[in-house]
Amino acid sequence: MKVLTLPSTDYTPEICLDYNNKNIFFKGECRPENVSTFFADIIDWFNALKNIKSDETKTPVVFYLDYFNSSSAKYFMDIIFLIDELNSKYNFSLEIVWEYDEEDEDVHEAGLEFEDISGVNFTFKAV
Partner 1 sequence: MIDNNTTYTMFETMKQHKAMVTYHGEFTFESINNILLYARRDIKIRKVDQKLSRKIYAVLVEALENVLRHGIEKQYETKTTDGVFILYRTDEGFTIKTGNLIDNKDVPKLKEEIKDITEKNIIQLKEAYREQLRNGGISQKGGAGIGLIDMAIKANKNLTFNIFKTEDNVSFVELTINITQQKEIAA
Nearest distance, CB of residue 83 and partner 1, angstroms: 15
Instruction: Report the residue from 3, 52, 112, 117 that binds partner 1 according to the rule CB under 8 A.
Output: 117
Q: Does 67 contact partner 1 by CB under 8 A?
A: yes
Alpha-carbon distance of 48 to 12, in angstroms, equals: 22
- Our CB check for partner 1 shows the closer of 32 and 86 to be 32
Listing DSSP states for 104-127 in one string gives -HHHHHHHHHHHHHH-PPEEEEE-
CB of 27 to partner 1, least distance (A): 17
* Adjacent-strand bridge partners of 26: 15, 63
Contact call for residue 102 and partner 1 (CB under 8 A): no
Least distance to partner 1 from the beta carbon of 91, Å? 25
CB of 108 to partner 1, least distance (A): 12
Rounded Cα distance, 15 and 8, in Å:
7
What residues contact residue 87 under an 8 Å CB cut-off, 6+ apart? Answer: 93, 94, 120
Distance (Å, whole) CA 15 – CA 41: 11
Give CA–CA dist 113/92, Å, rounded: 23
- 73 touching partner 1, by CB under 8 A: yes
- Asked if 48 interacts with partner 1 (CB under 8 A), we say no
Residues at the interface with partner 1 (CB under 8 A): 10-11, 31, 33-36, 67, 69-71, 73-74, 77, 103-106, 113-114, 117
